């Protein structure tokens, strides 16, 4: 059966992209690893696996749109995404499926905090230990986490820590910059470099293919505009496990169907797309959790304006800090302080445009953003009826009253620090699923009765079928998940290499 939205899915790459990006694939090759999707999970996994000597194929439904992160592109930029799912009554899922090389990593993946111990407590012990014992450090090297900061930002951090440091851990917002030797922006008060790239798996895969000296280039094939709509499943093995024998894809440009063989198949299309593919391929799941649990952060924002007479912050300054309570118990939040966000990751070549739109005597607009940890909700699900896909996602519930009160108090005190005389403590909660960090449709668990994949990201009932995207998260942390997913992808590459020996 073919599904309705495939009929209208069409892309076009101009000849310049064809010459620049050497898309490669070979139906006659027995690949070691087939990765379906090229976002943060799939792109990092494919690059790492090929560098380890595994013959790797990436199948990406979309074309090459951008090889760099959206922060490098002239403004304005538009997030090109779609939502191919019918929504049941009461569901408000915002489109977030990005069909293009690099997935959503093309559009954002700069903020890379680690999970804290109270967040890791909701993860399997083996995975939590890996992340703490080198897994995060390895991913930070790949993302090129920034460690140095200009004097203004260091002073700003010290001021906030002096006021809140007893109760809150105050740090620079952990961010990725993928050109470490670039010069800092000379604008006074700027805490950030404006580089030629924050992390993007589109750039990562393209660099591997274009650099003939890179170890993995001979082992890496990337086929864009190949929409995988079926994982071909084989007969059960002697040990009782099932097996994925191949994948079938529609070449959207040539209009032909192709079948690719692989020792290992990894779903990495995202929380909704990977679950959809597993369900329509007939993947067996004894836990009953396949497609269930889709959950995003509980999120609240508090916009405010820094007072004009603030003695240490003015209209040409910008700041970004992260605050997290020291005493969280088993629940909690992160607080992102984004000061004067009109300068946030803006690349502007046209001085006239800059003077007209930013170089004005405007209020110093800022935002305090809270993300709350969210356990997966089993009543949220993706399901198939006939030739339609459906999502049923309840509105995001507000966190417990004590956490709301604590966040509200912090928001008011932060405003006072920046000279606001009548601070507004009323947080604006988002009642819908934004899909920015939607997770949990194929959660990991040590027990096959409680989850879809194990702690190695392998489907419990399959010998060679894996998943490597936010689908596998057993819990939604109170922070951006990019670094955690990147570490899981590197770990899976090592696991697959060990199985190929």
Please give the share of the chain, as a percent, with pLDDT higher than 90.
56
Q: How far, in Å, are 151, 172, 234 from residue 155 at the CA level? A: 6, 11, 61
Q: Describe the crossing of helices 40-51 and 482-500 by its angle, rounded to 10 degrees.
A: 40
Which tens digit of pLDDT belongs to each residue from 177-231? 776 544 455 555 554 555 457 889 998 998 888 876 666 778 999 999 999 999 9
Mean pLDDT of 107-133: 92
Judge contact between 71 and 198, C-beta under 8 A: yes
With a cut of 90, say whether residue 330 has pLDDT above it.
Answer: no
Least confident range from 65-79, 126-140, 469-483: namely: 65-79
pLDDT at 267 over 70: yes
Q: Measured in whole angstroms, how far is the alpha carbon of residue 398 from the centre of its chain?
A: 23
More confident residue, 15 or 84: 84
- pLDDT for 9 equals 73
Give the per-residue pLDDT at 214.
Answer: 62
Which of 153, 161, 150 is CA-nearest to residue 417?
161
Higher pLDDT among residues 404 and 149, named by residue: 404
User: Worst-scoring range by mean pLDDT, 6-15, 289-298, 377-386, 450-459?
Assistant: 6-15
DSSP 179-228: -TTPPBP-STT--SB--S-S--HHHHHHHHHH-TTSTTGGGEEEE-SEEE
Query: In the predicted model, what is the mean pLDDT of the chain?
Result: 87
For the cut 80, the answer to whether the pLDDT of residue 343 exceeds it is no
Structure tokens at 433: 């699923």
Average confidence (pLDDT) over 83-94 = 82
Q: What is the pTM of this model?
A: 0.94
Q: Which helix (H) or strand (E) holds 375?
A: strand 374-375
Helix or strand run (H / E) with residue 141: helix 136-143
User: How high is the pLDDT of residue 182?
Assistant: 43
């Amino acid at each position: 059966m073919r599904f309705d939205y495939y009929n209208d899915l069409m892309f076009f790459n101009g000849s310049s992209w064809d010459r620049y990006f050497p898309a490669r694939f070979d139906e006659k090759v027995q690949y070691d690893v087939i990765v379906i999707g090229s976002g943060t999970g799939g792109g990092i996994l494919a690059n790492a696996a090929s560098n380890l000597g595994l013959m790797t194929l990436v199948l990406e439904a979309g074309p090459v749109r951008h090889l760099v992160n959206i922060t490098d592109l002239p403004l304005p930029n538009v997030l090109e995404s779609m939502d191919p799912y019918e929504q049941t009554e009461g569901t408000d899922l915002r489109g977030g499926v990005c069909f293009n090389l690099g997935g959503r990593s093309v559009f954002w993946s700069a903020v890379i905090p680690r999970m804290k111990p109270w967040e890791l407590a909701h993860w399997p012990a083996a995975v939590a230990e890996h992340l703490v014992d080198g897994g995060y450090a390895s991913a930070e090297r790949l993302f090129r986490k920034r460690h140095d900061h200009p004097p203004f930002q260091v002073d700003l951090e010290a001021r906030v820590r002096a006021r809140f440091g007893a109760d809150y851990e105050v740090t620079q917002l952990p961010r990725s910059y993928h050109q470490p030797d670039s010069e800092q922006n000379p604008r006074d008060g700027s805490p950030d470099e404006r580089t030629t790239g924050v992390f993007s798996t589109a750039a990562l895969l393209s660099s591997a293919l274009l650099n003939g000296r890179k170890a993995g280039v001979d082992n890496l094939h990337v086929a864009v505009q190949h929409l995988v709509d079926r994982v071909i499943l084989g007969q059960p093995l002697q040990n009782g496990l099932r097996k994925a024998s191949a994948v079938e894809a529609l070449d959207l440009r040539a209009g032909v169907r192709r079948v690719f063989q692989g020792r290992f198949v990894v779903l990495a299309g995202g929380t909704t797309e990977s679950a959809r593919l597993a369900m329509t391929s007939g993947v067996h799941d004894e836990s009953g959790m396949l497609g269930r649990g889709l959950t995003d952060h509980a999120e609240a924002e508090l916009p405010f304006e820094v007072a004009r007479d603030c003695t240490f912050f003015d209209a040409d300054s910008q700041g970004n800090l992260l605050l997290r309570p020291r005493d969280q118990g088993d629940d909690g939040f992160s607080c992102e302080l984004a000061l004067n966000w009109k300068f946030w990751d803006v690349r502007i070549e046209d001085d006239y445009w800059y003077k007209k739109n930013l170089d004005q005597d405007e209020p110093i607009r800022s935002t305090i953003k809270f993300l709350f940890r969210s356990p997966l909700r089993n009543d949220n699900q993706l399901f198939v009826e006939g030739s339609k896909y459906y999502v049923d996602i309840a509105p995001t519930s507000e966190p417990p009253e004590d956490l709301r009160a604590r966040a509200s108090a912090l928001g008011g005190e932060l405003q006072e620090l920046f000279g606001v005389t009548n601070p507004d403590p009323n947080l604006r909660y988002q009642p819908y699923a934004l899909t920015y960090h939607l997770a949990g449709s194929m959660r990991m668990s040590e027990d096959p009765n409680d989850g879809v994949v194990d702690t190695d990201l392998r489907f419990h009932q399959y010998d060679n079928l894996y998943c490597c995207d936010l689908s596998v998260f057993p819990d939604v942390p109170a922070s951006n998940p990019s670094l955690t997913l990147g570490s899981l992808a590197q770990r899976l590459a090592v696991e697959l290499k060990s199985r190929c020996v």
